[in-house]
């Protein structure tokens, strides 16, 4: 049987880092698409309307990609926290079981 050594605090630190990255991505991706497009409209005028329409689609796709990436980091954070909780819970349950068995056996001489 192989052995595993888990440091739940390290897993939680990894989870917290991923949550922070998700928050930063969400903040960075939270720009106002309509305001950006409206601000560019006077620059391009009627001649650049087609470009501006394509630009708006590209910006929307970019915002969606950022949101998807942030969601991935948030999911990794949640999974890591659940993993750490699982290891801690399993260790606690085994400790309780082993303590009970030790009491049944009694003190060793």
Is the pLDDT at 69 greater than 90, yes or no? Answer: yes
With respect to residue 109, please indicate whether it lies within any of the assigned structural domains: no
Residues 45 and 51: their CA atoms lie apart, in Å, by 10
Average predicted confidence (pLDDT) for the chain: 90
Residue 35 belongs to some domain of the structure:
yes
Q: Is pLDDT of 96 > 60?
A: yes
What does the alpha-carbon distance between residue 22 and residue 14 come to, in Å, rounded to a whole number? 12
Query: How many helices, marked H, and strands, marked E, lie in the chain?
Result: 3, 0
Q: What is the pLDDT of residue 107?
A: 74
Number of domains in the chain: 1
- Say if 58 falls within a structural domain: yes
Q: Which of 100, 24, 32 is nearest to 63 (CA)?
A: 32
Name the band, by pLDDT with cuts 50, 70 and 90, for residue 108: low
Domain with 71 in it: 8-100
Q: Quote the percentage of the chain above a pLDDT of 70.
A: 97
Note whether residue 26 is domain-resident.
Answer: yes
* 23 close to 77: Cβ distance less than 8 angstroms: no
């Amino acid at each position: 049987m192989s052995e595993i050594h888990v440091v739940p605090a390290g897993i939680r630190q990894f989870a917290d880092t991923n949550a922070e990255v998700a928050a930063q991505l969400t903040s960075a991706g939270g720009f106002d698409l309509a305001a950006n497009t409206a601000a560019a409209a006077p620059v391009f005028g009627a001649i650049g309307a087609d470009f501006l329409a394509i630009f708006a689609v590209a910006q929307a796709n970019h915002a969606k990609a950022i949101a998807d990436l942030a969601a991935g980091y948030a999911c990794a954070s949640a999974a890591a926290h659940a993993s750490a909780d699982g290891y801690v819970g399993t260790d606690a349950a085994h400790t309780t079981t082993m303590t009970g068995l030790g009491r049944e056996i009694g003190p060793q001489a």
